[in-house]
Chains A and B, each alone.
Chain A
Amino acid sequence: MSQTNVIMKVRPVNGKTFFIDIQGDVNANAENALVDAYNQATSAGAKDIILNFAQLDYMNSSGIGLLVTLLIRAKRQNQQLLACHLGEHYRQIFELTRLNEAIDIYDTEADVLRAIPIAR
C-alpha cells in the first residue's frame, strides 16, 4: 500500500548548517521522511536547514503543506529554513503559496552557503 517515493538525506556542512537533500516526490507520503530528516538535523544542533531540491521529481499541494508545517516547526526552534536548486516552476508555486516570503531561495548550494552568515 505504501507508495513513498522520496529519499531525504541529511548532510552536515558544519555543526549549525545542514542540507536536506530531497530526491523524488514530495507529497503527503513524504511526511515521515521529512520529519525524520528534520529531527535528525535538529538533534545534531542545526540552526540553518537548507532544503536542496536539486533532485526533486514532483511536489503537489500536500507537499507544500508539509513545507508550511516544517517552516513553523523550524521557526519555533529559532531555526532558519532556506532552499536551493528550486526550478522555475516550483519558484512560481512558492510565490503562489507565499512560501517565498518565509523561505529564502537560492540558485545553488554555493549561493546559499555564502548568504547564511549575512542572513543570520
Chain B
Amino acid sequence: MSEQIPFKKPNSHADAWASPVSQLKVSDLPAGAVNLNVEGRQLTGPIRGFGQLWQKTFWIPLTGVKATPVEVIQTWKTNFQKFWPEGNKFYNSAAGIAPGNVAVLNMSGAGGIKAPDGATLLSTGIMVIYADDESFSFMTPQGHMFAGMITFSAFDVAGSTVAHIRAIIRANDPFFEMTFRLGFGHKVENQFWRDTLQNLAAHYGVTGQAQQEIVCVDPKVQWGEARNIWHNSAIRTGAYMLLTPMRWVQGKFKRQVA
C-alpha cells in the first residue's frame, strides 16, 4: 500500500513503548485458558527467527464509516478477540492491550487443521510492545509460529478510515518453515488477517474484501536459528495434550497414596 499514513504522536512518547523484558510473565488469565509456551519465554522478533523474512500488509477501507482512526483503534483494542476468526482465542489480561502486557493465544485452527470440539491445538502468546491512539504492535515469544512484529493501525485516506495490519515475520523454526514452504502456512496466515479485518469492518456494517500485499524481504533461512524448534509451541502443546490422561491418572494415584 503506497499511501502516506497520517501520523499523530502519542501524548507521551515513553508511555507508548513497553520496557525491555528478559522473560515473559503471564497474569490475570480467565479460567479455561491453556497457558503453555509463554511464561518464562523470551521475545524473539524478526532478527532471531529461522525462515524466510516476509513483510505482509493487509488493509480494508471502512468506507462510509464516520468513526475516526482513533475510535477504530479503540474499538479494535477493546474487541480484539471478537474480531479474530472463529475457533481461536486471545486471552488478554484485565489491563487490555497496553504496552508490556502479555496475552495467551489458544489456536484451534492453526495450519488449517481443525481440532474436535474446538480443542486447543496450539498455545502460545504475544507481548504488546507498543500502543498509542492510532496503532498497536505485538512481538512474539520463543515457540510461536513466527518470530516477528505485527502492527495494527488505522488512518484517514481521503476522508475514509482505513484499517491496516503489517507483519514482519519469519517462521520461528524449521517445522513452521516447512508449513510455509508447503503453502498452507502462508495461506492460513493470510486468510486469518484478512478475516480479522473483514470482521472489524463488519462491526461497522461494512462488507468488503480485505486487500493484501506480500513481499519476501529475505529469501534465505537462518540455519543458526534451527534449534528454535526446541521451543516449538505446536509440538509442545501436542505433547501436553497427549499426556493429559497420564497426568490425570498420576494425580489420582498420588491423592490415594496421600
Interface residues, chain A, with chain B CB atoms under 8 Å away: 1-5, 25, 27-29, 58, 60-62, 64-65, 68-69, 71-73, 75-76, 89, 92-93, 95-99, 101-102
Contact = CB atoms under 8 A, between A and B. Distances in A.
Nearest to A101: B47
A97 B130 CA distance: 11
Interface stretch (B111-119, B132-140, B202-210, B228-236): B132-140
Nearest to A90: B17
B102 interface: no
Interface in B165-182: 166, 168
B16 interface: yes
A103 B217 CA distance: 18
Interface stretch (B31-39, B63-71, B151-159, B183-191): B151-159
A64 B43 contact: no
B168 A68 contact: yes
A interface majority secondary structure: helix
A72 B135 contact: no
Interface in B78-92: none
18 contacts: A1-B4, A3-B4, A5-B7, A27-B5, A28-B5, A58-B9, A61-B129, A61-B130, A61-B135, A61-B149, A62-B166, A65-B149, A68-B46, A72-B217, A92-B20, A96-B43, A97-B45, A101-B47
Interface of B: 3-7, 9, 13-14, 16-21, 43-48, 53, 55, 129-130, 132, 135, 137, 139, 149, 151, 153, 156-158, 166, 168, 217-218, 220
Contact of A62 (B47, B135, B158): B135
Contacts of B7: 3, 5, 25, 27-29, 60
Contacts of A76: 218, 220
A68 B20 CA distance: 17
Nearest to A97: B45
A61 B9 contact: no
Contact of A97 (B4, B135, B149, B158): B149
A95 B149 CA distance: 14
A97 B153 contact: no
Contacts of A101: 47-48
A27 B135 CA distance: 11
Contacts of B129: 61, 96-97
B151 to A, nearest CB: 5
Given A28-B7, A29-B5, A65-B149, 15 more contacts: A4-B4, A28-B153, A28-B166, A29-B4, A60-B135, A61-B130, A62-B166, A68-B45, A69-B55, A69-B168, A71-B47, A76-B218, A89-B14, A92-B20, A101-B48
Contacts of B18: 96
Contacts of B46: 68, 72
A98 B135 contact: no
Given A65-B149, A96-B129, A97-B129, A1 B168 contact: no
A2 B55 CA distance: 22
B135 to A, nearest CB: 7
B6 A1 contact: yes
Closest 6 CB pairs of A and B: A61-B137, A61-B130, A2-B4, A96-B20, A95-B20, A28-B5
Nearest to B136: A61
Given A27-B5, A73-B217, A95-B20, A64 B149 contact: yes
Contacts of A29: 4-5, 7
B99 to A, nearest CB: 10
Nearest to A69: B217
